[in-house]
Amino acid sequence: MRYEFNKTAIHPSVEVYHDAVVYLGGITMREFYLDKVKCAVAWRTSRQKLRDYFGDLLPLRTPAGPPISYGHLICLGCPVEYPEDGEPNVKPLVTDIDQGIDLLKTKKDIRFREQQIVRHYDELCSYLREQFPEQKVAFSGLGAQGPLTTAVLLRGQDFIFDIIDYPEKSRTFLTLLTDSIISYRHFQNEMNGLPAVNPDGGGLADDFASLLSPDMWPAFVVPFWNQLLDGVSSGTQRSVHCENLSPAHLKHLKDVRLTHYQPSVSDLLTIENIKANTDIPFDWLLYSYRITEMSDAQIQAWVDNTVAAGITSIRTQFGEFACKLGKLDRIKSFYKAFEKYRVE
């Protein structure tokens, strides 16, 4: 289906959180991550339930490795825990900035393919490929965060103080860490038979960059975002996902030569103040925890206001929370709100 406003295409989309797959699949979160058979069952069961409810309205997610954003950190040695019914999480590995620099120098030539977590995901994704031969199941799920998020998770929250107390060491740490992320991203591509360096474009997600004040960005965010994006792609398309930014942060986005910015959940931002502070195209998200409480009329008004503001990529999301509450009808209402813009 195609949608237009003032002869410009608009693109509504709905993203399905993986915890909905777990919930609808009737397994625990730990089983989803650690048991390849139960993981496949959850994908099959949840996909069927969503197809039965939404029909062709909702494009189904391709089965994939359970998403964990810290694959790179786990390879470096960060301990990971798998709660029974919660998201996997990692703990800091180093206790000071010098130890962090030494670790990254030691891990400079790490062979990611040989790491236990990678072997597990390779086996799991291969099993999913066998179970879903009609789908294009990639080596997936085992992600990497952007430089600042990775630094805080590896070093702990004291990294924010390191930047103030040891700025030069912190830049060295971030340079080495970004090189490691680039190597990991190259490895991910090669696992899927792709060029190590994407010829079209690249992106990154780095929510913890928002912990730094805007005046710190030229020294501690922009150079490392550029280092990462230059390292993973030779193309011109460059995108960043960074939550919780303020309007004052946005002036620095131009220095990263972005072609797309995803604000996601950022309560200080509005469509109006984003436009006032940057001309980089951005999408707009109806938060998953808000749509569940909205009426049809409220959803229609939100969509109409967003479309009228000239936003062409318009998103919402749902997961276990909406499923448990019996609120998936709100997602149908989101799709229905675009019917007035439908051209075929």
Contacts 24+ apart (CB under 8 A), 183-191: 183/110, 183/112, 184/71, 184/72, 184/75, 184/112, 184/144, 185/144, 185/231, 185/232, 186/232, 187/112, 187/113, 188/139, 188/142, 188/144, 191/113, 191/122, 191/139
**What is the percent of the chain with per-residue pLDDT over 70, rounded to a whole number?**
100
Q: Is residue 24 part of a domain?
A: no
Q: Hey, is 43 helix, strand or coil?
A: helix
Residue 276, pLDDT score? 98
Q: Do residues 277 and 270 lie in contact, with contact meaning Cβ atoms separated by under 8 Å?
A: no
Residue 168 and residue 78 share a domain: yes
Residue 228 and residue 149 share a domain: no
Residue 344, pLDDT score? 82
pLDDT digits (tens, 9 = 90+) for 83-111: 999 999 999 999 999 999 999 999 999 99
Contacting residues for 149 by C-beta, under 8 A, at least 6 apart: 205, 206, 207, 208, 209
Residue 265 and residue 178 share a domain: no
Residue 122 and residue 67 share a domain: yes
Domain of 170, CATH number, reads 3.20.20.210
Residue 214 and residue 186 share a domain: no
Sign of CA dihedral 27, 30, 32, 35: negative
Where does a domain end: 259, 282, 305? 282
* Two structure tokens written together for 303: 């969509």
Give the predicted TM-score (pTM) of the model.
0.96
Where does a domain end: 225, 257, 282? 282
Residue 192 and residue 214 share a domain: no
Mean pLDDT of the region 255-284: 98
pLDDT digits (tens, 9 = 90+) for 18-39: 999 999 999 999 999 999 999 9
Residue 250 and residue 227 share a domain: yes
Q: Which domain holds residue 208?
A: 204-282
pLDDT digits (tens, 9 = 90+) for 128-162: 999 999 999 999 999 999 999 999 999 999 999 99
Residue 261 and residue 184 share a domain: no
Residue 96 and residue 124 share a domain: yes
Residue 184 and residue 247 share a domain: no
Q: Is residue 14 part of a domain?
A: no
* Two structure tokens written together for 127: 């099993």
Neighbours of 282 (CB within 10 A): 24
Cα of 1 vs its chain's centroid, Å: 26
At CA 266, angle to CA 160 and CA 66, rounded to 5? 80
**What is the percent of the chain with per-residue pLDDT over 90, rounded to a whole number?**
99
Residue 181 and residue 269 share a domain: no
Number of domains in the chain: 2
CA 134, CA 123: separation in Å to the nearest integer?
18
Q: Is residue 311 part of a domain?
A: no
Residue from 196, 175, 283 nearest 239 by CA: 283
Residue 167, pLDDT score? 98
Where does a domain end: 168, 196, 224? 196
CA 318, CA 33: separation in Å to the nearest integer?
20
Q: Is residue 22 part of a domain?
A: no
CA 286, CA 265: separation in Å to the nearest integer?
9
Q: Is residue 303 part of a domain?
A: no
Q: Is residue 86 part of a domain?
A: yes
Residue 209 and residue 126 share a domain: no
